[in-house]
Amino acid sequence: MSSPVETVQALTKAFNARDWDAFRSLIADECVYEEPATGLRTTRGDDLLSAVQTWAGAFGDVQGEVTNAFQDGNQVALEITWSGTHTGDVALPSGAIPATGRHVESKAVQIVEVVDGRVTANRHYLDIATLLSQLGLLTPPS
Protein backbone atom coordinates (compact mmCIF):
# COMPACT_ATOMS: atom_id res chain seq x y z
CA MET A 1 0.00 0.00 0.00
CA SER A 2 1.22 3.51 -0.81
CA SER A 3 1.97 6.08 1.84
CA PRO A 4 -0.48 8.99 2.13
CA VAL A 5 2.04 11.33 0.46
CA GLU A 6 2.48 8.90 -2.45
CA THR A 7 -1.30 8.65 -2.84
CA VAL A 8 -1.74 12.42 -2.97
CA GLN A 9 1.17 12.82 -5.39
CA ALA A 10 -0.39 10.12 -7.60
CA LEU A 11 -3.67 12.08 -7.50
CA THR A 12 -1.91 15.21 -8.80
CA LYS A 13 -0.11 13.16 -11.45
CA ALA A 14 -3.43 11.66 -12.60
CA PHE A 15 -4.98 15.15 -12.75
CA ASN A 16 -2.07 16.48 -14.81
CA ALA A 17 -2.41 13.54 -17.24
CA ARG A 18 -6.23 13.90 -17.34
CA ASP A 19 -6.35 10.23 -16.39
CA TRP A 20 -9.79 10.48 -14.81
CA ASP A 21 -10.07 6.74 -14.13
CA ALA A 22 -6.83 6.78 -12.14
CA PHE A 23 -7.87 10.01 -10.40
CA ARG A 24 -11.24 8.56 -9.37
CA SER A 25 -9.66 5.31 -8.16
CA LEU A 26 -7.66 7.31 -5.59
CA ILE A 27 -10.75 8.96 -4.07
CA ALA A 28 -13.07 7.29 -1.57
CA ASP A 29 -16.77 7.18 -2.43
CA GLU A 30 -17.44 9.28 0.68
CA CYS A 31 -14.96 12.13 0.25
CA VAL A 32 -15.38 15.67 1.55
CA TYR A 33 -13.83 18.32 -0.70
CA GLU A 34 -13.79 21.97 0.34
CA GLU A 35 -12.61 24.95 -1.71
CA PRO A 36 -13.13 27.95 0.60
CA ALA A 37 -12.11 30.53 -2.02
CA THR A 38 -14.99 29.54 -4.31
CA GLY A 39 -17.43 28.21 -1.72
CA LEU A 40 -17.42 24.76 -3.33
CA ARG A 41 -18.08 21.80 -1.04
CA THR A 42 -18.74 18.22 -2.12
CA THR A 43 -19.21 15.03 -0.12
CA ARG A 44 -18.94 12.33 -2.78
CA GLY A 45 -15.98 11.13 -4.81
CA ASP A 46 -17.88 11.47 -8.09
CA ASP A 47 -18.68 15.11 -7.26
CA LEU A 48 -15.03 15.83 -6.53
CA LEU A 49 -14.10 14.30 -9.88
CA SER A 50 -16.68 16.50 -11.60
CA ALA A 51 -15.33 19.60 -9.82
CA VAL A 52 -11.73 19.02 -10.91
CA GLN A 53 -12.87 18.23 -14.45
CA THR A 54 -14.63 21.60 -14.47
CA TRP A 55 -11.37 23.34 -13.50
CA ALA A 56 -9.52 21.36 -16.20
CA GLY A 57 -12.14 22.50 -18.71
CA ALA A 58 -11.71 26.14 -17.70
CA PHE A 59 -7.90 25.97 -17.87
CA GLY A 60 -7.30 23.46 -20.66
CA ASP A 61 -3.57 23.02 -20.09
CA VAL A 62 -3.56 23.42 -16.30
CA GLN A 63 -0.88 21.53 -14.44
CA GLY A 64 -0.21 21.21 -10.74
CA GLU A 65 3.35 21.16 -9.48
CA VAL A 66 3.77 19.89 -5.94
CA THR A 67 6.62 21.92 -4.46
CA ASN A 68 6.45 20.52 -0.94
CA ALA A 69 4.63 17.77 0.94
CA PHE A 70 4.41 17.00 4.64
CA GLN A 71 2.78 14.01 6.30
CA ASP A 72 1.54 13.53 9.85
CA GLY A 73 -0.23 10.21 10.25
CA ASN A 74 -2.87 10.00 7.54
CA GLN A 75 -2.86 13.78 6.92
CA VAL A 76 -0.85 15.32 4.08
CA ALA A 77 -0.15 19.01 3.56
CA LEU A 78 0.82 20.02 0.03
CA GLU A 79 2.19 23.22 -1.35
CA ILE A 80 1.21 23.28 -4.99
CA THR A 81 1.52 25.72 -7.88
CA TRP A 82 -1.22 25.64 -10.50
CA SER A 83 -0.48 27.06 -13.94
CA GLY A 84 -2.51 27.08 -17.11
CA THR A 85 -4.32 29.10 -19.76
CA HIS A 86 -7.89 30.29 -19.19
CA THR A 87 -9.65 28.72 -22.20
CA GLY A 88 -13.14 28.05 -20.81
CA ASP A 89 -15.67 29.40 -18.35
CA VAL A 90 -14.75 29.46 -14.66
CA ALA A 91 -17.80 28.89 -12.49
CA LEU A 92 -17.77 30.96 -9.30
CA PRO A 93 -20.61 31.68 -6.85
CA SER A 94 -20.87 35.19 -8.33
CA GLY A 95 -21.29 33.77 -11.84
CA ALA A 96 -19.26 32.39 -14.72
CA ILE A 97 -16.07 34.09 -15.89
CA PRO A 98 -15.76 33.70 -19.67
CA ALA A 99 -12.42 32.61 -21.13
CA THR A 100 -9.80 35.36 -21.27
CA GLY A 101 -7.01 33.45 -22.99
CA ARG A 102 -4.65 34.60 -20.23
CA HIS A 103 -2.01 32.40 -18.65
CA VAL A 104 -2.19 32.19 -14.86
CA GLU A 105 -0.02 30.83 -12.10
CA SER A 106 -1.39 30.57 -8.59
CA LYS A 107 -0.20 28.90 -5.41
CA ALA A 108 -2.34 26.74 -3.16
CA VAL A 109 -2.19 24.56 -0.09
CA GLN A 110 -4.12 21.34 0.20
CA ILE A 111 -4.73 19.47 3.43
CA VAL A 112 -5.62 15.91 2.47
CA GLU A 113 -6.70 12.93 4.54
CA VAL A 114 -5.91 9.47 3.19
CA VAL A 115 -7.40 6.24 4.59
CA ASP A 116 -6.52 2.84 3.15
CA GLY A 117 -4.85 4.38 0.10
CA ARG A 118 -7.79 6.62 -0.86
CA VAL A 119 -8.49 10.31 -0.28
CA THR A 120 -11.34 10.83 2.19
CA ALA A 121 -11.04 14.60 2.64
CA ASN A 122 -9.34 17.49 0.83
CA ARG A 123 -9.35 21.13 1.87
CA HIS A 124 -7.97 23.17 -1.05
CA TYR A 125 -6.86 26.69 -0.14
CA LEU A 126 -6.41 28.36 -3.52
CA ASP A 127 -4.99 31.88 -3.89
CA ILE A 128 -8.04 33.16 -5.73
CA ALA A 129 -6.95 36.83 -5.46
CA THR A 130 -3.84 36.16 -7.54
CA LEU A 131 -5.85 34.09 -10.00
CA LEU A 132 -8.46 36.85 -10.48
CA SER A 133 -5.74 39.49 -10.77
CA GLN A 134 -3.97 37.53 -13.51
CA LEU A 135 -7.28 37.16 -15.35
CA GLY A 136 -7.58 40.97 -15.29
CA LEU A 137 -10.59 40.92 -12.97
CA LEU A 138 -8.99 42.27 -9.80
CA THR A 139 -6.59 45.17 -9.49
CA PRO A 140 -3.53 44.04 -7.54
CA PRO A 141 -2.50 46.20 -4.59
CA SER A 142 0.23 48.71 -5.38
- 100 in any annotated domain: yes
- CATH number for the domain that contains residue 85: 3.10.450.50
Does 29 map to a domain? Answer: yes
Per-residue pLDDT tens over the stretch 52-74: 999 999 999 999 999 999 999 99
Task: State pTM to two decimals.
Answer: 0.93
List the beta bridge partners of residue 79. 68, 109
Over the stretch 14-33, which tens digit does the pLDDT of each residue have?
A: 999 999 999 999 999 999 99
* Boundaries of domain holding 63: 4-134
Q: Is the dihedral of CA 127, 120, 54, 12 positive or negative?
A: positive
Task: Give the count of domains, the chain.
Answer: 1
Instruction: Work out the pLDDT band at 93, boundaries 50, 70, 90.
Output: confident
Which DSSP state fits 59?
B
Query: To which H or E segment does residue 111 belong?
Result: strand 103-115
Answer yes or no: is 140 within a domain: no
